[in-house]
Amino acid sequence: MIIEDPVEDSALAVSIGFDKSVHSNCSNILFDNLARNPGSLAITGPMGDLTYRELCANASAWGHAFRSTKLKKSDRILFFLDDTPVFPAAFFGAVRAGYVPVLLNTQTTKELLDFFIKDSGASIAVCESSFSHMFNKDKVGTLIVVNGEAPSGAINETEFVRNFDVELPPADTAPDDMAFWMYSSGSTGRPKGIVHLHHDMAYTNASYSKHILKVKPDDRLFSVPKLYFAYGFGNGITFPFSAGACAVLMPGQPSSDSVLDVIELYRPTMFFGLPTLYTSLCRSQDINERDLSSLKHCLSAAEILSEDIFNSWYNLTNLEVIEGLGSTEMLHIYLSNSAAEKRLGSAGRVVPGYEVKLVDPNGQTVKHGVEGAMMVRGHSSAPCYWNRPDKTAVTMKEDWLYTGDLFIERDEAYYFQGRADDLIKVSGQWVWPLEVERCLSEHSQVYECAVLAHVLEDNRMTLRAVVQLHKGNTASKDTTKDLQKFVKSKLLPFKYPRIVEYVEVMPHTGTGKIDRQALHHSRFREKNDD
C-alpha cells in the first residue's frame, strides 16, 4: 500500500515556522536531547527515573534488537504496553530503526486483539507481562514480554535487548514515510488503522505545544490519559521530549487516589485529564487535604467540562482548566482555549497551524453563526486508514479531514453541538441528544447521563436516557417523572426522554468518553415508559 501525504507545503506551516523537510525521522524528538541536555531527567514516576542519556541508550538497544529479527523497513510491531519507561524506549527504538509501532489500547478484548494482529500484518508484538495471556502464540510470530516474567514461548525484554549497542543512527526514512499507527475505537464498526507519518509529531509540537502549552525544560508533564491514545501520546511523549522536559508516567488504571498520590510525590507542573477524571477528583473525599501546589496548568479534552466541575477545580487549585478538542486522525488538539482566554462551554479557537471550516450536508461552507459539520486541515493529518479506501474516501477529502462534529462559531470560538450522525427524529422533528443530556445534567440528582435513540414497537422513534444518579439518590418511578418534568420545563416538550433507565456506574471507553456502543447493546434496571 502506497502512502502519500495529501497536505502540501502551505501557509499554515509557514505561519508556525514549521519546515517538514527537517523531520525525516520522528525519533529525533528524543535523540536531539543528547546534544543539549543528556543529563536532564526525561522520565519519572512509580516505575523509576531515566535521564535523556539513559533513555536514548535504551531506545538504541531496542532498535538494534528489532533489527536482529530481520524485519523489513516499515514492517509493523504491535505495542500492547502500559505507561512505563519501556513504552518510549521501545517506541523510539522502533521508529529510529525504520519500523512502524502500532499502539494498542490495553483494554482491548482478546477477539479484537486477534483482529489487530491480522489487520496490521505484524509478526512481532511487545506486551506487558500482565497482558501476555491475551496473545495466541499461533497468531503472532514473536512475543516480547516486558516488566515481568515471560510465559513459555515468549522472550523476556532483558534477553531481547541485552548486549546491543547503545548508539543507533536513524534509518533512511523521509518526512512523509509511515511512522506509526493508532486504531480508532470502533464505536461505529470495526476499528480503523490510523496511519501517521514521521513529520506529524513535530507538527503537533510546533502548533499546540509551542503556542498553547509553552512547555519549558523545567516542566514536568503528567498525562492521566494513556500513551496509546493520541491525546496522551502528545502530552506524555511528544511535548516533554521536544522541549527537553520531564514526563511523569503512571502505569495501571487510574483512580482518584492514585492520581493524587502521583501529583503529590512527583510534583508535575502540567496536568492533563478528561472531564470524567476532573469530576472524580473534585468529588474525592480527601481532595481538600491533598497538596496540588506544583500544578501550574491543567488541561482537558474530548468533551466539555460542566460549569460545576470547572468552578470546583478552580476553587481547589486556583487554576482554570484549559479545554480543547482534537482527534486521533489529527494526532492531537486543533481547537483550544488558552491560559490568556478561556470561554466556558467552548472548545476554543483554532490552534495556530490549523484551519477549520463548517459545512452543510452538501459540503458547502455555512454562513457565520450557522451550525455546520467541522472540517479541519493541517500537517499532522493522517493520510489514510490502513486498507480502508472506503472509509478514507468518506473522511479524508483531499487535504481536509471531515470530523462529523457539529459546531457553531461565535467570535472565533467554536461551540460543540453534537454529532452529524447523532440526529434523532422524534415526532417528526430533529433532536440532538447532546442538548437533552446537557439539560438532564443540570438536575441536582443526576451524576452522569447519556441520551440514545430508541425504536418503539410501532416503529416510532423516541429518546432513551441512561442515568447514573448521585450517591444517596434512589431510582424510582417518581425519580423518572421528576427528570422528565425537568426536561419539559427547560426544552421543547417533544425533546423529553420517553424511556429512562438507571445504572450504578456509567460505562466508559478508554479515553474517558461514555461508551455509547455498550449502552446501545444493554438494557438496565428501573425502566420507565411514559
DSSP state of 172: S
Q: Nearest Cα to 27, choosing from 199, 230, 224? A: 199
pLDDT in tens, 215-247: 999 999 999 999 999 999 999 999 999 999 999
In the chain, where the domains are located = 25-173, 424-529
Distance CA 36, CA 42 (A): 13
Q: How confident is the model at residue 427 (pLDDT cuts 50, 70, 90)?
A: low
369 vs 77 pLDDT, higher one: 77
279 — pLDDT class (breaks 50, 70, 90): confident
pLDDT above 70 for 523? no
pLDDT score of 188 = 47
Average pLDDT, stretch 188-215? 93
pLDDT digits (tens, 9 = 90+) for 88-115: 999 999 999 999 999 999 988 888 899 9
Cα distance between residue 318 and residue 519, in whole Å: 36
Q: What is the largest CA-CA distance in the chain?
A: 71
**pLDDT of 511 above 70:** no
pLDDT level of residue 528 (50, 70, 90 thresholds): low
pLDDT > 50? residue 213: yes
At 525, the pLDDT band (50, 70, 90 cuts) reads low
Give the residue with greater pLDDT, 464 vs 522. Answer: 464
Per-residue pLDDT at 1: 63
Please state, in angstroms and as integers, the Cα–Cα distance from residue 169 to each residue in 63, 98, 397, 410, 484, following that order.
10, 11, 36, 49, 64
Burial label, 473 (beta-carbon count in 10 A; 0-12, 13-18, 19+): middle
Q: Inform me whether the pLDDT recorded for 31 exceeds 60.
A: yes
Please, what's the b/e burial string for 115-150 (b: 16 or more CB within 10 A of its CB; e: otherwise)?
Answer: bbbebbebbbbbbbbebbebbeeeebebbbbbbeeb
388 CB neighbour count, 10 Å cutoff: 19
Q: What pLDDT score does 187 carry?
A: 47
Q: pLDDT at residue 520 above 90?
A: no
Measure the CA dihedral 459/460/463/464, to 10°: -30
Residue 321 has pLDDT above 90, yes or no: yes
Q: How far apart are CA 181 and CA 105, in angstroms?
A: 12
The pLDDT of residue 126 is: 98
The CB-side HSE value for 329 (13 A sphere, CA atoms) comes to: 23
Do the Cβ atoms of 358 and 261 come closer than 8 Å?
no
* Res. 59: pLDDT tops 60: yes
* Residue-wise burial string across 157-193, b where 16 or more C-beta atoms lie within 10 A, e elsewhere: beebbeebeeebebbebebbbbbbbbbbbeeeeebbb
So what's the pLDDT on residue 336? 97
- The model carries a pTM of 0.84
CATH superfamily of 424-529: ANL, C-terminal domain (3.30.300.30)
Q: Are 433 and 469 in contact (CB under 8 A)?
A: no
Lookup: cell for 133: 495471556
> Looking at residues 366-390, what average pLDDT do you find?
94
Instruction: State the Cα–Cα distance between residues 436 and 441, nearest whole angstrom.
Output: 9
Q: Percent of the chain at pLDDT above 90?
A: 74
Query: What percent of the chain shows pLDDT beyond 70?
Result: 95
What integer pLDDT is reported at residue 237 of this predicted model?
98
Residue 530 is predicted with a pLDDT of: 52
CATH class of 25-173: alpha beta
In the prediction, which pLDDT does 319 show?
Answer: 97
Query: By mean pLDDT, which of 184-193, 464-473, 500-509 is the weakest?
Result: 184-193
